[in-house]
Amino acid sequence: MSPIAPHNALELMNIAASIARQAGDLVATGRSRGTGNVDIKSSPTDVVTQWDQASESLIVERLEHLRPNDSVLGEEGTQTPGTSGITWLVDPIDGTTNFLYNLSGYAISIAATDDAGTLAAAVYLPVTRELFVAARGNGAWLGARKLTCSPCHDLSMALIGTGFSYSSQRRDVQGERIAKILPQVRDIRRCGAAAADLCYVADGRLDAYFEEFLQPWDLAAGLLIATEAGAVSSDFSGSPIRSEQTLLSTPGIHQAILAILAP
């Protein structure tokens, strides 16, 4: 690949997809050799492995080669300034705890953003080798198949995804929300990687997903993929989505979920 002009969403999507696959193959190979060094971040349950760091290094190196004028912000500390108006948001392993325990639900998440939001996205699941991609205004795709969120209109038949904070105090509040919503839906799933869960909403494997206190690199790629597949996004009061409160759902149940989650 050679460097390209700044704002071609499909080209940016292809770059994100190629690099996400490379990083995913790296960490999958690494996991087969063990987790390597594991360090604690914000709490004993919030960890980083040497493969998170190796993945981010690979992604940043490739982006700096292909897009030298872009900014890059990565979960593991990368903060590269740029002049193009494009910022890449990188989660080198979303679902590090799953990775640590050799569970399949972890993902590589890469998004290209501009002043209007996410422009292009790729989420790669190394274990299943599924590559979800989207470009603003061009739909969301899994391989050659265009993604469409589920047609669910009945909350009682909805399968809902969620996630939990690393903070025990925040988990208390989240547990109360689960207690409110669980009796009213088919079931709850907690897969352990926000980027993957949002792609599952895009593909109709989940009917909705909600979580609190996500970081930009957790949210940016999966949000575009889900909304390009027809999902509706908001915070818990129905206002525009924000990292403190994230709700993505198929249109037919969005208002019903809001009625439960609203403060």
**Pair of tokens at residue 245:** 């409160």
Distance CA 161, CA 142 (A): 20
Secondary structure (H, E, C), 117-161: EEEEEEEEECCCCEEEEEECCCCEEECCEECCCCCCCCHHHCEEE
Q: How far apart are CA 203 and CA 5, in angstroms?
A: 31
Cα(200)–Cα(193) distance, integer angstroms: 11
Task: Provide the phi-psi class of 184: left if phi over 0, else alpha when psi is between -120 and 50, else beta.
Answer: alpha
Active site residues: 75, 91, 93-94, 96, 218
